[in-house]
Amino acid sequence: MPYINIKITDESVTAEQKAKLIQGATQLLVDVLNKNPATTVVVIDEVNTDNWGIGGEVVTKLREQAQS
C-alpha cells in the first residue's frame, strides 16, 4: 500500500528508464518492509529545469554553466 513519488528534472528520461524506476522503487518496499507490490503505487513527476532550484539557482542556469 505504499505510495512513492519521485520528482526529477525533465531531461529526456526514457519510458524504459521510468519503468526501471517503478520496478526498483516497488521492489525496494518489498525487500525492506515486505510490502505487497500489488497495491504499491509509484508516481514520477518530471519538472522543467526552469521550475527547479537548488542553492537558490535555477537548474536551467546551472546546466548552462556546467556546459560552458
Of residues 44 and 65, the one with the C-beta less far from a second copy: 44
What is the C-alpha to C-alpha distance for residues 11 and 31, in angstroms, rounded to an integer? 29
The DSSP bridge pattern shows strands 41-47 and 57-58 to be unpaired
What positions carry a catalytic annotation?
A: 2
Identify whether the C-beta of residue 40 lies closer than 8 Å to the C-beta of residue 4.
yes
Q: Which residues bind a second copy (CB under 8 A)?
A: 1-9, 13, 15, 17-29, 31-33, 35, 37-47, 50-61
**Smallest gap, in angstroms, from Cβ of residue 14 to a second copy?**
9
**Smallest gap, in angstroms, from Cβ of residue 39 to a second copy?**
6
